[in-house]
Amino acid sequence: MTAQSSQQPPALKAATEACETCPTFNAGHLTKLGINLTNVDYVIALAGNPNTGKSTVFNALTGLRQHTGNWPGKTVTRAEGGFAYGDKRFKIVDLPGTYSLLSTSVDEEVARDFILFGRPDVTVIVVDATRLERNLNLVLQVLEITDRAVLCVNLIDEARRHQITVDDRILAKELGIPVVLTAARQREGIDLLLKNIHDVATGAFVCRPHRVQTISREVAHALDAITARVRGLFPDLPNARWVALRLLEGDQRMIDAVQSGELGTVVRNHTPTTPRPAEVPV
């Protein structure tokens, strides 16, 4: 969706670029997921393995502007809060801490469905700087679903203590998303994290996420065929290949979403005149 060819006609190129900055969150689905969108410019999801300091990052970003509840119909708790940066208002939703998004547990399902169906403007993935390799699994899974993400490499103070150096620039280049080193407990790096969230949300920074290609020729062949069918059904779906992969796995939630047409409403809304929610405080 962010790929732009230099051969594109100027008008088309301008339209594509304009869409990088248009609001993308899926109001219908987010409301269904119990999110109040009044007076919100952008919706941010916070994902990460358990114990990476996700709640600490959440608190550093939101301060006291937060409340907790449950996900609709689930016993999984949810914290959400608000913050402002520049002249924009952000709502941030703390997703359950998970090691994966393969939806084998309620927590994983909640996190995955929020990113997939809610289409947050930015997903912030918090990882533990001292366990980066293990944490990257979730990062790559998130990048399969969305191309709007910021990596927050937290506990950088602990990493330093263990003589672990994280090269944020190389990581950002290889992943294709902004990378910020933080020690959230001390608020170190939080301002830079805010700026990067803002830049991805507004389209000032366009992510080019890394996608893993490690499938056999046979699977690739089947995948191409299913991807083409999915694209035919839902031409505006941002990641038909990822959906096709889930269908190939027999993922019941995805099969239902295709059969009911729910996926069709997940597409990005390109209409600049989309009615925005009424203006009341977060």
Interface ranges with ligand GDP (CB under 6 A): 48, 50-56, 97, 154-155, 157-158, 183-185
CA 75/CA 109 separation, integer angstroms: 13
Instruction: Provide, rounded to whole angstroms, the least separation between the CB of residue 186 and ligand GDP.
Output: 7
2, 8, 16, 55: which one contacts Mg ion (CB under 5 A)? 55
Q: Judged by CB under 5 A, which stretch of 53-61, 169-177, 216-224, 247-255 contacts Mg ion?
A: 53-61
Give min distance, CB of 265 to ligand GDP, in A.
31
Q: Which does residue 227 touch among Mg ion, ligand GDP, none (CB within 5 to 8 A, set by kind)?
A: none
Nearest distance from C-beta of residue 193 to Mg ion, angstroms? 17
Q: Which is nearer to ligand GDP, 17 or 158 (CB)?
A: 158
Nearest position to ligand GDP, beta carbon: 53
What 3-state class would DSSP assign to 85?
strand
DSSP 41: S
68 in Cβ contact with 79 (< 8 Å): yes
Between strands 77-85 and 88-94, the pairing is antiparallel
53 binds, among Mg ion, ligand GDP, none (CB under 5 to 8 A by kind): ligand GDP
State how far the alpha carbon of 43 is from the alpha carbons of 74, 193, 264, in Å: 21, 15, 20
Closer residue to ligand GDP, CB minimum distance, 54 or 119:
54
Judge contact between 39 and 280, C-beta under 8 A.
Answer: yes
Contact call for residues 131 and 84 (beta carbons, < 8 A): no
- 56 or 103: CB nearest ligand GDP: 56
| Residue 29 near residue 72 (C-beta atoms within 8 A) | no
Among 178, 187, 191, smallest CA distance to 125 is for 178
Binding at 17: pick from Mg ion, ligand GDP, none (beta carbon under 5-8 Å per type): none
Binding site for Mg ion (CB under 5 A): 54-55
